[in-house]
Structure 1
Amino acid sequence: MRARSLLLALVVVSLALSGCAGPAASVDGAGVLVTASRDGGSAGAATIAAAGQAGTSGATGTSGCGSDATPAGSSSTRSVSVAGVTRTAQLHVPNGYDGSTPTPVILAFVGHGMSTQKLEGFSGFDDSDAIVFYPQPAGSAPQNGWESAPYASGQDDVAFVGALLDDLEAHLCVHTARVFAAGISNGGGFVSLLSCRLPARIAAFAVVSGAIYPADDPACPTVPAVPVVEFHGTADPVIPYDGGTSHAAALEPVTQWLDEQAQRSGCASSPTRTAIGSDVTEQQWCGCQGRGALTHYRIEGGGHTWPGATATSGPGVTTQTISATRIIEDFFAAHPLS
């Protein structure tokens, strides 16, 4: 399978930075998700992969460029020490990796109690042209969650991510303007926290069925705006769309969290809404300031799942109307740091 590209043509970047969060999603006559530009033209993955090569000339490479001999298409385990604790992450290098071309990075964060192998399987990120890191949470059950939740291990997970990136940049050829973070459930809540804590190092953020505990992951209205895309099912049995209580702690309603993101990024107070198929509504906030961008996919009847996944990703209904993976990759491609 040809690697999906996270590099983007400059014309698409200019559209994405003009105020809305980039191309809207739609479904073609065969029920297949495509991305459509605002002028009605098509901007599919193959177009992005080909035209995106123009964006590589300005790539910001790291000290690992030219000296890394990691085999293309390989997977391995990397370890770093943080405050005397050894932490690990699963690493996958794309098929086209040559050790000298600055390459995008996706940090993919598991949900509470989920294995990194499971997320690797249903997300399909390994088929992108990015280096993919699947970090492992610390601790033991039940306190083995990511920082940002009441069941967190107590370790400094933000420092862990920083150490992972330091190690990665020292040993592999990384495009430092194209480092991205995505996560599901507790991993999605941690991605929300990272958007507040590492906005100058991670370019864009994707949250799927995010577990947002405001006591552990408060809003950060004074932190610079960042690009965020979010997916959530209205019938999520684990993290209810309208909020509630879990692990004896309050969960934030999705709409409230989105309002906070819009205010942080100086976006319009209300989004534009586009129906995609019969069960998905895309919401985009326009007029965002700086690097800000915000898109939400409301999935009617959707469960605590990864949209488009063909393997089990969680309880409840998994919509096949959209592919979270493809939307996330397109969103990331449209929002580099520079």
Structure 2
Amino acid sequence: MGQPFGGGQAAIDVAVAAVPLIVVLGAALYLRDQHRRYGRQYGWPGRLTTAALAAGAGLALYAVWPLPASADGLCALDPSSAGPRPGSALPWPAPADTLRAMVLAFALFLPVGFLARWRFRRGWALTLALGSGLAVAAALLRATGLLGLYPCAYADTSPVLVGLGAAGTLTGWLLARWVLPLWPTGPARGWPAALPDRLVPDLGRRMLGALLDLGLWWYGAATLVALLRAYEVVRPTAVDQVRIAALLGCAAVFVLVLPQLRRDRATLGAAALHLAVTAPAAPRSADRWRVLVRTLLLQVPVALLIALGPAWGALAVIALHGSTAVVRPDRAGLADLVCGVRVRTRSTLDGGLPDRLVRYAPPVEGAGAGLSSMPGSPAAGR
């Protein structure tokens, strides 16, 4: 079986760009699903939702770490050496069954079992199967050099680490099941209750949406360039120019074109958090020309400064925009005030409710409606 993309440095470039992109995409889909089901994230359930996202990102990092950017010296491993693998970012010896590697494998899977019980209310059998599957998947990625994208396995693994991952998952579930209820004040409820999402979105939610946009844009463009390079569409001498063109092209699609086609006028990252750009005082979509002007004042300068430099100028633009949002009750940024728009939730725009919200439904009267069901009555036994 040949290596993907012909192997070599081209395949490694694809891996370095695509792995972070997959993580960002997974985070966006996860947050979109949680907001669709439960609406606004708040309290302990909201914190645990974020903790589950962080645990997933940590497991992804564990499976691919250190994700070398080059194959130089990667496979020149002397089995008799007790030192680190040449070219590796790992500060401990290369063999997998070191004490530190085993403790890390056990500790990283503890949150999986803990959250499966406290946040997602799953039984021990399903939780153990999930943890074991994740441990096997991580071991497979390590043993195959990221499914063959690398010429060799740059991070060692073993059945012991897989078993410790499963044990850590089960231990976390048992802690949530038997130890957490012994907390002196009693544990807070970990699973969320659906709430209508009509309040003004806080700055943390808006910032998270912006970070998702940044990740999708940056790693999406990097993956596109890496694929073009792997298929020899781009010459090595033109990679830098193509990278800048890809960044600017993806920015044009993500922040200029797509929001104009959506009813909520939101970018992909904001849409994952159920945000919308609306009129200031009415539950309707903001005018397209206002959204376009806002994009030209905010996202376009940020994209140009990150792509062409200086990158620190992008932070100045963001700080200037947020200077009014931190003091206003409606959290309107400077560009929002200038263009006459507001960032609201999607539910404010379309009146939608979370999928898990309990809705009242009047009882359906059957054929025996109005008849007594007491013993001996005509409706008895129905």
Tell me, yes or no, whether TM beats 0.5: no
Structure number with higher strand proportion: 1
Length-normalised TM-score, structure 1:
0.24
Normalised by the length of structure 2, the TM-score is: 0.22
* Structure with greater helix share of residues: 2
| Bigger Cα Rg | 2
